[in-house]
Amino acid sequence: MNSSGNLINLFSNAVDQGVISPQTSSLLTGHLGQVVIAGAAGTALDSIVASDVTLITVLIDASSSIADRNLAQAVRDGHNVLVDALGQSKQSDSVLMALWKFSGDQEVLHSYVPIGGATKLSRFNYRPAGATALYDTWCDALASNVAYAQQLRDSGTPCRSIVVMITDGEDVCSRRTAQDCAKISRDLLASEQFVLAFVGVGQEADFRAVARRMGIPDGCVLVCKDASTQGLRQVFQMVSQSAIRASQGKILPGPQAGFFQP
């Protein structure tokens, strides 16, 4: 079982291997709460049979504005389509998915599990309410991802990471800042082992500017101004297509990274 001490050791190994810088390690180790520990507690390493692994982390906004716009069921349906698409892809045996939902706080519905065991969303486990903590969620999820990915690398299993955040609003309540997010994001992108993507739904914010402040390349940002059931369905379809494509190809560094580009 992971503990904060174990995670610190994993971050230290990631520094030694050039995956992250000492500065990013300090940022990640400064907030090792239970949600980060839960997010890094994925499938046991001896249960993984794939020779290389793609880790897909999906961060879904569960704030009250989703419910206010009557989009909750569309989010559930869209995520479930994403899970099905990944499960039917040729890469399914090598994909492990983690699912987080966030409002003012974060909840790990499950950490990294084979795509066949990924949780589907329903009205019982996805009921939007509360504020929006983009920055805290981003930093915590990246910390969990770095830690679990490092466990794989330390065991001799190569892996790549794809992290996708889907939201309909700006941050309103995080303790961390956009600058914190950007420092971590740019470090991870430079390692050429991470794809970091951002989806903004609706017209309540300049989502490209929000993502840019968080260090996410323009080619990894998708804005869907149509905050409707159909619009969200298309969003999740594009995420699934991009995730499948990214799991097959070489990850390019920094500004060259393109998730939503053909």
Residue pair 220/244 in contact by the 8 Å Cβ criterion:
no
- 6-37 pLDDT, tens digit each: 899 999 999 999 999 999 999 998 878 899 99
> CB–CB of 65/104 below 8 Å?
no
Instruction: Say how many C-beta atoms besides its own lie within 10 A of residue 244's C-beta.
Output: 19
pLDDT tens figures, 189-228:
988 889 999 999 999 899 999 999 999 998 899 999 988 8
Q: Which of 69, 124, 116, 121 is nearest to 97 (CA)?
A: 116
Residue 1: its pLDDT value, please? Answer: 47
pLDDT at 78: 93
Tokens found for residue 62: 């569960």
pLDDT at 248: 75
Q: What is the pLDDT of residues 30-62, one digit of tens each?
A: 878 899 999 998 999 889 888 889 999 999 999
Residue whose pair of structure tokens reads 């001799």 in the numeric block: 156
Domains, in order of start, for the chain: 4-256 (3.40.50.410)
Please give the structure tokens belonging to residue 89: 């892809």
Q: Encode pLDDT of 219-254 as tens digits.
A: 899 999 988 888 888 899 999 988 888 887 665 555
DSSP of 162-224: EEEEEESS---S-SS-HHHHHHHHHHHHHTTSEEEEEEEESSSS-HHHHHHHTT--GGGEEEE
Average pLDDT, the chain: 91
Of 244, 197, 247, 245, the closest CA to residue 223 belongs to 197
